[in-house]
Structure 1
Amino acid sequence: MPLEIVTLPTLTGSMNNYNFLIHDSKTGQTALVDAPEDDGIAAELKRLGWGLDVILLTHHHWDHIDGAAALSSEFDAKIIGAAQDAHRLPPLAQEVSPGESFDLFGREVQVIDVPGHTVGHVAFYMPSENALFSGDSLMALGCGRLFEGTPAQMYDTLTKLSGLPADTVIYSGHEYTADNAAFAMTIEPGNEALQNRVKAVKQARAANNPTVPSLLSEELATNPFLRSTSPEVQATVGLTGADPVAVFTEVRKRKDNF
């Protein structure tokens, strides 16, 4: 029986964060991916009649960890995060490293190193669920701003994630898709798949519906940060035939100033 994955917008503040509940209806166990706050998440768990057993943290930024310690205390949930980031995460019950796997409710979770947005950022991939919890690495029509890592690191991260099965569902950390879509149209306006996706994003947001998660196949076809080898993308940024890392670097620079 597949796990139930609930996309949960942050219920307090204006962070536009998403966190995710992973629920095993057979055992009644529940995990949370990232914890920007505690009160709203606790209220939603109680509304659903669920406890909380595990908290997975992708990276150290406050808007992904601020509620973790309080939720861990309230629900007696163990916190799992990257060993290399343990010094700037809430106290971890289990430290994990890239390349390792661990068990979550009888399913394998693979730990993937995804530096770029931060150094020490990890993603959690569950092959049985076709699910990638990417935090602020690969995002819907975008990627995270480079606060600590280099463009080459983020390009390598995105290339690595692009190699996952095309039907992988990408559970990313923020509702930034409308802004990302507007930017993407400045980079590859002739992309028909992108044009169609932009329309769908506008419709979803007009109805106050989330645009996360997304499919990796959608990202490969429309996300400008995954399309550094596209002739139109290269031409737009004036780097036809250039190294894809250089193309990615220019696209990321333009997004930073968009």
Structure 2
Amino acid sequence: MWFAKDVGQAMTGVKVTRTSGRRYFSFEWSWPGRSVYFAFEGGDHWRRWKAIADEAITMAKAQGERRILAYVFRTPDLARVPRPSWAVAKATMDQASSHGFRIVELTIDQVCELHAARELYSNALQGNIAFSGPATLAWLQTRFAPFLSDIATAGLPIEVRSVDAGGPAAKEQPKIEQTTAASDNLDGDSLRRVLDLVREQRIVDISVVLDRLGRAELRDPLLRSVEAHPNLKAHPGPKTIFLQWRITA
């Protein structure tokens, strides 16, 4: 979703929004005359995938002459879909493919590059590197232009617009300082509780850590503190984030 939201806005003329009234396809790139929708699904149950395909068909029919593409990205650690035994679901998915439905199986190299890009951008926002968030995002948008082209226009060239401190990438944070205020991270007592929990369990779901802290809104400060601490490492998964204890020399 980060890629669809932040990197996707690089394309000239695109409108990047969350959808409303959709169960699975929750994000949209739209231009006059066409849209690209994204669903984010890590499971492999045939009923769920039939429902996703049904929604793609319904969206396409509701759009009339407007061209749509509907993507679900899958990473190499996830089971391949559809399975050979999915007779009913596969028939629906085949039908949906004629309406722009696509399952994109990312390679391990692509997954690593996307995670690295997200981490680089996060470090820029926190002031951990000598480039601002908007400048880093603009560089990433240019780097990913071929991939954006593949999924937005089936390989046709796209125009990447310039993104600066006053552009769309800066709306949520108009000015990025090179240092992060201490208030953006966990306080000392909260961090100690996190360290004790992760040290004890070695690897733990972030939701368990937030339950221990008692405040779900501490998610972002928690992740910033994890990135800054030598003994903690965050591992994003298809449905959640796991925090791991690392032993340093």
TM-score of the superposed pair, with normalisation by structure 1: 0.34
Larger Rg computed on CA atoms: 2
More strand by share: 1
